[in-house]
With several copies, the nearest count.
Chain A
Amino acid sequence: MEKKKLITDDGIRYDGRKLDELRPIKFQIGTLKNADGSAYVEWGRTKILVGVFGPRESHPKHLALADRCYIRARYHMAPFSVEERKSPAPSRREIELSKVMREALEPAIFAEFFPRTTIDIFAEVLQADGSTRCAAISAASLALTDAGVPMRDLVSSMAVAKVEGKLVLDVIDQEDKQGDSDMPMAIMPSKNVITLIQMDGLLTHEEFIQSVELAKKGCMEVYAKQKEALEEHFKKTMDREEV
């Protein structure tokens, strides 16, 4: 891959955004019929569909927990979602991201309300252009709400990267690959707690502190979009019910 300059001297990024500007993000709730809850997100060119099943009977039974719901999550990429066709078998990266996604969502779920049951969260990445785990987690928290799973809060997620010496918000593929660091974060916005943080690359202590601040700002913007989508969805549902 050829390295081009990704940020102009005026602080304009590869795709025309400012350093702390998000891509267009659009959530759609309830797009699937079979799933108990679902959400679709277009996050720039990143496109992800999430379906939730449950709480339902645990199968196999030995997975059942006596005091709370067992939560499973799968992050999976379609073969055509990336530049080079990806084998449909789950890669090591997908297995790690499935774990990380589950652990980012679990704190928001009142799992103790549903002992001995299972909730399944399935995220399919249809097109990947950076920040897929952030998009998947944010969409999944909407799908869980759509499924009627009682939640402490939504989970909103955003990544910050250091590219050509500058911190940038909402990372695209090109920036991720050429950048010096990548830091995805997820929070429960109204609780002000972090449910996901990962980082790789080189950051000074100071840069790290700034990254966390910037990520938080991004998460709050995602949160606003999530709430908008929820309102729109409930409005539609109510309209339909009134008919």
Chain B
Amino acid sequence: MTNQIIPSVKRKQIIELAESGKRTDGRSLTDMRPVEIQTNVIEKAEGSATVRLGDTYVIAGVKFAIGDPFPDIPNDGVMSVSAEFVPLASSEFETGPPDENAIELARVVDRGLRESKLLDTSKLCIIPGKKVWIAWVDIFILDHRGNLMDAAALAGLSALLTSKMPKAEVSGEEVKVTEEFVPVPLRAIPVNVTMAKIGDKLFVDPSLEEEEVMDCRLSVAFAEDDQKQEKICAMQKGGSGTLTPEELLRAVEIAKVKSQELRKHLPSGGK
């Protein structure tokens, strides 16, 4: 059975420090940890990126493959986002198919990318109703030190931003993949910001220690289109705690500011 004593001592300490605006690792409540993004790290992938968010370490790779469209959107390509909690990333992770946390992570990142209209899937069509490009975005967690949501979203986004897409030539029903590459048709750019609620405070970019004692977390993704228009494009509460309506609105305000900060770290498009 899970021992609950150590977390409750830690929690008390974290809350007390926060009263004076401080955190155990020296950050203020709204500081992100250092962000480091490297792209094109996997030459065999059409796009790839590693993200270090403090000590949290994530890699994402993008592969394009030809496949069938969904019957209800026959003229659109497909983007598929998966996340794997690789067992080397944490003593808590286990081998086996993705659990509910990995699935939630992948789906939240997916919604952020999808709902921002980042990828113009209509341009991924090869033969309408028959053949389309599938963009596989695979995110692997390599070291889990808190806030996987933002690190994974950044990694997936950076990999897509720097992807090149193979070009297909069609003659009749035959599809041939050429040696040529074209840029991926991208539009608005989503950035995700996660905050943990502990007591009555919000902690931006929570560390693993903070996540272990948090009441709940809120992730908010802001998308910015080419006219620099910002909109909320995805949101997800996680964990068993509650938020007051005021906390919710405050969190959205914070996310708006921090997402602008994070944008500066993004790789520029194409490669």
Asked if residues A106 and B240 are in contact (CB atoms below 8 Å), the reply is yes
Give the contacts of B172-231 with A (CB-CB under 8 A).
216, 218, 223, 230-231
A1 to B70, CA, bound (A): 11
Asked if residues B86 and A76 are in contact (CB atoms below 8 Å), the reply is yes
13 additional A-B pairs beyond A80-B42, A196-B237, A201-B115, beta carbons within 8 Å, are A32-B89, A45-B44, A66-B2, A74-B87, A80-B138, A88-B138, A89-B97, A192-B244, A194-B242, A199-B235, A199-B236, A202-B223, A208-B252
Asked if residues A183 and B244 are in contact (CB atoms below 8 Å), the reply is no
Q: Is B63 an interface residue (CB 8 A)?
A: yes
Q: Nearest Cβ in chain B — how far from A2, in angstroms?
A: 10
**0/1 string, A36-74, CB within 8 A of B gives 1:** 001000000101011101001000001011110000001
Q: Nearest Cβ in chain A — how far from B52, in angstroms?
A: 10
Which residue in chain B gives the minimum CB-CB distance to A127?
B42
Q: Which of B104, B114, B116, B136 touches A99 (beta carbons < 8 Å)?
A: B104
Asked if residues A88 and B82 are in contact (CB atoms below 8 Å), the reply is yes
Asked if residues A103 and B237 are in contact (CB atoms below 8 Å), the reply is yes
A212 to B251, CA, bound (A): 13
A64 to B256, CA, bound (A): 40
Interface residues on A, range: 35 or more
Q: Which of A1, A47, A120, A124 touches B140 (beta carbons < 8 Å)?
A: A124
Q: Is A241 an interface residue (CB 8 A)?
A: no
Q: Nearest Cβ in chain A — how far from B72, in angstroms?
A: 5
Q: Is B254 an interface residue (CB 8 A)?
A: no
A212 — which chain B residues lie within 8 A by C-beta?
Answer: 245, 248-249
B57 — which chain A residues lie within 8 A by C-beta?
Answer: 32-33
Query: What are 12 inter-chain pairs, A to B, with CB distance below 8 A?
Result: A33-B145, A34-B89, A34-B145, A49-B142, A66-B1, A80-B45, A92-B107, A93-B107, A96-B103, A124-B140, A201-B233, A202-B223
Enumerate chain B interface residues (CB-CB to A < 8 A).
1-4, 41-45, 48, 55, 57, 59, 61-63, 65, 72, 82, 84, 86-91, 95, 97, 100-101, 103-104, 106-107, 111, 114-117, 136, 138, 140, 142-145, 216, 218, 223, 230-245, 248-249, 252, 256
Asked if residues A56 and B88 are in contact (CB atoms below 8 Å), the reply is no
A47 to B244, CA, bound (A): 30
Asked if residues A78 and B91 are in contact (CB atoms below 8 Å), the reply is no
Asked if residues B65 and A202 are in contact (CB atoms below 8 Å), the reply is no
Binding site secondary structure of chain A: mixed
Query: Contacts A49-B142, A95-B103, A199-B235 given: A88-B84 contact, CB under 8 Å?
Result: yes
A45 — which chain B residues lie within 8 A by C-beta?
Answer: 43-44
Enumerate chain A interface residues (CB-CB to B < 8 A).
1, 32-35, 38, 45, 47, 49-51, 53, 56, 62, 64-67, 74, 76, 78-85, 88-89, 92-93, 95-96, 98-100, 102-103, 106-107, 116, 120, 122-124, 126-129, 181, 183, 188, 191-205, 208-209, 212, 216
Residue with the highest number of chain A CB atoms closer than 10 Å, among B90, B140, B237, B242: B242
